[in-house]
Structure 1
Amino acid sequence: MTLHYSVLASGSTGNAIFIKTEQTRLLVDAGLSGKKLEQLFAEIGEHPGQLDAVLITHEHADHIKGLGVLARRYKIPVYANAKTWFELDKLCGKIDGEQKFHFERGQTLTLGDIDIESYGISHDAVEPMAFCFYHGGKKLSMATDLGYVSEKIKGILRGSQVLIFEANHDVQMLRMSRYPWNIKRRILSDVGHLSNEASGEALAEIITDCTQKVYLAHLSQDNNMQDLARMTVEQILKAEGVPVGQQVTLHDTYPDRPTRLVAV
C-alpha cells in the first residue's frame, strides 16, 4: 500500500501537486494552462484523464488557471469549499454541476483509498485551505500560501512522512526588489507568504522522528533562489538539532517541471 506523489509545478507562476495510489489519482490545484498540465503529467508517465478528482486550495490564478479547461475536457470532479466555489464560478467558466463538490475547512473526506484532512490557512483569499493525505499508515501534508504558521497548523502537520512546505521569499531580496510597497507589504503580512526564515523556524517545530522528506515549495522567482532557500532552512533546522541530511532530506521544487514521482 504505497502513496506516490509529484510536485508537478510550484511557484508564483503556477502550482499543482499529483498524488496517487493503485486505486486513486488526485490533483491538488491546477494553476497552469491545460496544455502545460498535460505536458507535466506526461513527464511523469501519467494523464489527467485518469484523475478521480481535483482539490482546490483557493481561488488565486496561480492555483486555478487550468481548472476550467481540465474539468471540462476530462469531466473530472472538483472539490472546493462553498466560498471558494463562489469565486471559481466567476473565474473558471462553466463547470457542470455534477462535477462540483463541496469540501469545507476542518472536514475529512475519503476519495477511493485516500483519506484527506482539510484545514484553514492564513492567506488573502476568501477561505483558503490546505490538506493532509493519509494512506496505508503514511501521511503526506502540504502547507503553502500562508502568512504565518499557527500552533494549530503545526499540530496538524506533525507526524507527516512528507511535507510540501512554503519557502516563498528571502526578506532582504523582497525589501530590495522593484515590487511596489503595497505588494511587499502584502507578501510580508500575516495573510501573505512565508519567508525562508519563517519556513525554517516553523519546520523545526513540525518535523518529528517519522519525517523523511521536506519539499520547499512556492518559491518566488523574483525574490528567492533555490540554493538560498535550502541553505537558510537547513541552517535553522541544524541549529535546532534537526538531523538534516540524515533522517530528513530537503528537496527543491520547480515552476516549470515536476519532481520525480516517488512513494512516501
Structure 2
Amino acid sequence: MASGSSGNCQYIESEKGKILIDGGLSAKKIFSLLKTIDLRPEDLDAIFVTHEHRDHIHGVGILSRKLDLPIYANYKTWEAMEESLGKLEMKNIKKFSNEKGFYFKDMFITPVPTFHDAVNPNGYTISDEKSKVSLITDTGWVSQEIIDAIRDSDLYFLESNYDIEMLKNGPYSWPLKQRVLSTQGHLSNENCSEVAREILKGNGEALVLSHLSIENNTTHLAYKNMEDTIEKMNLKVEKSVVDLDIATRFEPSRLYDLKEKK
C-alpha cells in the first residue's frame, strides 16, 4: 500500500483473513488506498505492527477504534507505542513473543527479529497451506537467523533503502548518515543484493524492493542493482523465473496473486 519513511502499510489476504502490516499513514489515507484495490475498510481483520516508529504506527490507533480491529505486536513494542496509539479496547490489544509463531485465522504468523533502533523490532513471515510471504524492512543487518526464517518464500518484501554513494554524498548530517549505515539502521541496495544471493532459487518467486529513501536512492538504481545481481545468478527477471518489483510510497504497487502464479 505504501513503503518509505513517509509511511508504511502492506495488505495481505488469504482465503479466510485480511490483514495490514503496519499503519504508518493517516487512517483517511489508508481508507483511500484500500478503495483503490476495491477493499472496504470494514473487511479488515487485524493490524500487525513491526515496531513503534511513527512511519509504521501513525494511523494504527484510530484504525482500531473506527473498525474495532485487534492490533498485534510483541510485548516490548506494545510498551513503547501504547501511549501514542491512544485509548483502545482491551480486547484489541494482542501481544506476542518474538520467539513464537502463531495462527491467525488460516495464516501462520512468524515474527522475525530484526536490527533497528527501535525497542524490539521484527519483520514477519506469513504462510498458509499454499504460499509464504516474508516482509523484512527497517533492519541494518540480515543475520543467518533471518535468512533461515524467510528462505523458501513465494514473495519477499525486502528493504533496499539507499545507495551507499548517494548517502555518503547526500544532504544528511554525519550522525544521521552513521545511523543509516549502522547495523541498527537500514539495508543498502548492495546489502539487499547480498541477501538475494542467499535466498533466490529461481523457482518463480517474487521480490519486491521496499522502503526506498527519497534522498539517498532512486527506483532506477535499486532496480538495476538487483537486476544485475539476479542475472549474475543466471536467473531471468520478468520471465517466469524471478518477478522483480519496487514498492511505491503513496500508492499500491502491483498486486500479487500467488495462487494464480502457482
> Do the aligned partners of 1:18 and 1:28 also contact (CA within 8 Å) in 2?
yes
- Which of the residues 16, 19, 28 maps onto 1:26? 19
Measure, in 2, the Cα distance between the counterparts of 1:261 and 1:233: 20
Measure, in 2, the Cα distance between the counterparts of 1:199 and 1:261: 22
The answer for the alignment partner of 2:217 in structure 1 is 224
User: Is the partner of 2:30 in helix, strand or coil?
Assistant: helix
User: Is the partner of 1:223 in helix, strand or coil?
Assistant: coil
The answer for the alignment partner of 2:164 in structure 1 is 171
Deviation at 1:149, TM superposition (A): 0.9
Map Cα deviations across residues 111-159 of structure 1 (whole Å, 9 max, x no partner): 1111111110111100000111111321111111110111111111110
The answer for the alignment partner of 1:99 in structure 2 is 92
The answer for the alignment partner of 2:252 in structure 1 is 258
- Which of the residues 154, 158, 166 maps onto 2:151? 158
Worse overlay, 97-106 or 75-84: 97-106
Measure, in 1, the Cα distance between the counterparts of 2:145 and 2:159: 17
> Do the aligned partners of 1:162 and 1:211 also contact (CA within 8 Å) in 2?
no
Q: How does 1:141-156 map to 2 (within 5 A)?
A: 141-156=134-149
Deviation at 1:253, TM superposition (A): 1.0
Measure, in 2, the Cα distance between the counterparts of 1:132 and 1:235: 26
Deviation at 1:211, TM superposition (A): 4.6
The answer for the alignment partner of 2:191 in structure 1 is 198
> Do the aligned partners of 2:21 and 2:50 also contact (CA within 8 Å) in 1?
yes
Measure, in 2, the Cα distance between the counterparts of 1:245 and 1:204: 17
> Do the aligned partners of 1:44 and 1:260 also contact (CA within 8 Å) in 2?
no
The answer for the alignment partner of 2:117 in structure 1 is 124
User: Is the partner of 2:38 in helix, strand or coil?
Assistant: coil
> Do the aligned partners of 1:25 and 1:53 also contact (CA within 8 Å) in 2?
yes
> Do the aligned partners of 1:147 and 1:193 also contact (CA within 8 Å) in 2?
yes
Deviation at 1:222, TM superposition (A): 1.1
User: Is the partner of 2:251 in helix, strand or coil?
Assistant: coil
Tell me the percent identity.
37
Worse overlay, 159-168 or 237-246: 237-246
- CA, structure 1 residues 61+211, in 2 after alignment: closer, same or farther (shift >3 Å)? farther
Q: How does 1:223-242 map to 2 (within 5 A)?
A: 223-242=216-235
The answer for the alignment partner of 2:54 in structure 1 is 61
Instruction: Give, as a single letter, the amino acid of the residue that structure 2 aligns with 1:262.
Output: Y
Instruction: Give, as a single letter, the amino acid of the residue that structure 2 aligns with 1:210.
Output: N
Deviation at 1:107, TM superposition (A): 1.4
Measure, in 2, the Cα distance between the counterparts of 1:263 and 1:116: 19
Q: Does 1:249 align with 2:249?
A: no
The answer for the alignment partner of 2:129 in structure 1 is 136
User: Is the partner of 2:117 in helix, strand or coil?
Assistant: coil
Map Cα deviations across residues 166-221 of structure 1 (whole Å, 9 max, x no partner): 00001111111111111110000001000001101111111124352100000011
> Do the aligned partners of 2:237 and 2:244 also contact (CA within 8 Å) in 1?
yes
Q: Number of aligned residue pairs: give it.
A: 257
Measure, in 1, the Cα distance between the counterparts of 2:256 and 2:238: 18
> Do the aligned partners of 2:49 and 2:73 also contact (CA within 8 Å) in 1?
yes
Map Cα deviations across residues 67-118 of structure 1 (whole Å, 9 max, x no partner): 1111111110010011100111121111211100112212111111111111
Which structure carries more relative contact order (alpha carbon 8 Å, separation 6+)?
Answer: 1
The answer for the alignment partner of 1:4 in structure 2 is none
Measure, in 2, the Cα distance between the counterparts of 1:244 and 1:262: 16
Q: Does 1:114 align with 2:111?
A: no
